[in-house]
Structure 1
């Protein structure tokens, strides 16, 4: 594909965006909901996401991530996962004209037809199974349609990218466990998507060789452009294409731009007296950054990479393996620093504008925004 600049009229990109089925593979706003917020309310000053902004951004289908960290051990994690699903279902019950639970591709099309947000559930972290296949079945029956084998923590299924990168695991502990293989085989049987974001390289390769269905990588980017352990190396990208899977690009600045951390550290150093005072008061780094961003908005904006940097990752994948294997997995409400132009889910149309300016055709854009994922999802039900 040639990427030639073209003149784009505002109405053209918005029209193309509205005509496409837009699917986001990863959003963490359930975390905010567990803290008492309601996405039916206007949460503009508090989150990246709410129902009004999903509509404004032309988002047709959203994977809501069910997440907890390793602090939720046996007896806690599975129960907490179900509580998050309860909270999502409660929102759906209160807003039946705006959002519906979707468990099959044909239901997604029905949601689009009815102009409702298609809510799909993803489980981010195999530790929530608590080493029980029956728990996987129960989560599937409640609507979960993908499982991320690990979060940052390794578990009884597999080793994580963070742990493998830190070198904190002996070789015998790296990769997919026997239980992890059982889980993948069960997911293949159920028609549940295997998500390989967050997993270590050894786990990745063993999972690719175990699954009989196309995989997803719900929220990761290109290692060659941003060498972070959460990103994918070229041979992994090629393996996903050969598998028939899809990669959802993550909007997290640190996974997009290798210069981001240095700029952020300079920003913090410039305001080190205020940082020290906030640290003394018990504020976390994320809270400190949020406070400083509100106080110094122009400076904070320049710390973040431009949208073009994110689209460079997309171009790279397309040039490496083709346009059929890339999608979007924003990680909104699970990250603190997004590209400058992407401040909330309402800004998804700007991605379409950038794709058009880079010479992508309407067919390409339809694939990237949702078609590639829908193809993979449909493939789960095929023998």
Structure 2
């Protein structure tokens, strides 16, 4: 059943973590979560490759250049492996690549900061193959506020939600056939975008707030709004977005971070050793609280029970997260999701929708 289904992953950061740094993921990359052999084992068909850069650019030329450099690195990977992977720009391209049994690559730009407040740069990224734009990352832009800022820094915001220019961005994305991605956006931005978009939206890597109440997850009313819009929510695998206990422990540790590192540095006077000891301590404390594959499927199950099986998908965030659930260690593990859904009594039709059919429907409605 898993091999027959079309598996679509809404979000993977392997460009930023590996490809941009010159790693060849067409061969095994043991230190990461993603490479071609493991994708084949996991039965992946379609992958949204995240184009991401920090709010401070790596290139002296700016954020837009960083985005283009990453797309260049993905293009080079595809050109070296034409028998295994193909870039898709349309729904027709996607289905052709699947029939040819290739990994179908789609480009998702994770953060509106990379268009540098310039509509021409948005259009340029679309021409390069951008198939979704995440309106914000954790940082806000002058035209859209992020979930992190709306939740944690509300007092410092000059505005909340989408400005008129932000709404123009959403309308332009609709016109260009680029998915509006509402992962990372604040609630006001989310609702402004839903009200503005004339096409189904995507949340490429978000999970359920009522199970794990963190700023990056979506609340029941947001889930219902996505269903009314005809969109799809792709479940993120990060332990801190899946498990309330893991998230609480992580938050507690992060508040202790400076005290711990200051005390270690006072003894060692070695910043590298200090970071190493903190990483070891953090992992030692959080590892027993890692969620399981079953906990991830709880998030899928929650959305299905709330609004039906047409509005949920997979958005792993592999190679962009520091902790993964037990049983979902890398991209070879997707079949375990199918097995768990079967164990819970899901039909083949429902499983096909969850694994990829719902995202494909939203894609078809946009481009």
Query: What is the SS of the residue equivalent to 1:93?
Result: helix
2:341 match: 355
Alpha-carbon RMSD:
2.5
Deviations 1:146-182 (A, max 9, x none): 0000000001230000001113445651110122111
The 1:181/1:267 distance shift into structure 2, 3 A limit, reads closer
2:300 match: 314
Alpha-carbon shift at residue 215 of structure 1 (Å): 0.3
1:217 match: 203
The 1:300/1:229 distance shift into structure 2, 3 A limit, reads closer
Query: What is the SS of the residue equivalent to 1:70?
Result: coil
1:12 match: none
1:63 to 24, 30, 48: 48
- Which segments of 5 or more consecutive residues in structure 1 lack a partner in the other structure? 1-15
CA distance in 1, matches of 2:313, 2:251: 31
2:309 match: 323
TM-score, normalising length from structure 1? 0.87
Query: What is the SS of the residue equivalent to 1:182?
Result: helix
CA distance in 2, matches of 1:28, 1:82: 15
The 1:283/1:254 distance shift into structure 2, 3 A limit, reads farther
1:342 match: 328
Asked if structure 2 preserves the Cα contact closer than 8 Å seen for 1:267 and 1:303, the reply is no
Taking the TM superposition and a 5 Å limit, the aligned residue runs for 1:197-216 are: 197-216=183-202
Query: What is the SS of the residue equivalent to 1:17?
Result: coil
CA distance in 2, matches of 1:319, 1:279: 54
The 1:88/1:196 distance shift into structure 2, 3 A limit, reads same
TM-score, normalising length from structure 2? 0.91
Alignment coverage as a number of residue pairs: 358
Q: Does 1:153 align with 2:139?
A: yes
Q: Does 1:252 align with 2:242?
A: no
Asked if structure 1 preserves the Cα contact closer than 8 Å seen for 2:15 and 2:70, the reply is yes
Q: Does 1:49 align with 2:34?
A: yes
Q: Does 1:131 align with 2:117?
A: yes
2:76 match: 90
Asked if structure 1 preserves the Cα contact closer than 8 Å seen for 2:245 and 2:289, the reply is no
Deviations 1:67-123 (A, max 9, x none): 011112994100110000000000000000110001111211111111110010000
Q: Does 1:173 align with 2:147?
A: no
Asked if structure 2 preserves the Cα contact closer than 8 Å seen for 1:223 and 1:233, the reply is yes
